[in-house]
Amino acid sequence: MMHQLFYILEKPMVPDRLSYSEMYESIFLYPSEWTENWKSYNEHKQAVCNLIVQHMKNYDMVLPLIRRQARTLTEKFFSADKLLQNIN
């Protein structure tokens, strides 16, 4: 399976499947079927490109959401703080 995590100018684009659906805000999700496999990616390649262009054009507008998403990921998923609190 192809790698499904794209970062465009620090803006994440992830498929709406698996744990991505719970980890990322909806603005960062794209339809899962776009990258389910290589054939599907090729069928939806233009949609992926269009979304990348859209994100790039609106980068300044969504920058606060990008920063909030980064904080959320760090606090909820990429930190051991809660584990350490339970151990102590």
34-54 confidence digits (pLDDT tens): 999 999 999 999 999 999 898
Please check whether residue 38 lies inside any domain of the structure. yes
CB within 8 A of 7, min separation 6: which ones? 13
Dihedrals phi, psi of 7, to nearest 5 degrees: -120, 120
Domain of residue 77 covers 6-87
Please check whether residue 73 lies inside any domain of the structure. yes
67-80 confidence digits (pLDDT tens): 999 899 988 888 88
Please check whether residue 32 lies inside any domain of the structure. yes
Please check whether residue 1 lies inside any domain of the structure. no
Number of domains making up the chain? 1
* pLDDT, position 23: 93
Query: Is residue 17 pLDDT above 80, yes or no?
Result: yes
Stretch 10-32: mean pLDDT: 90
Please check whether residue 46 lies inside any domain of the structure. yes
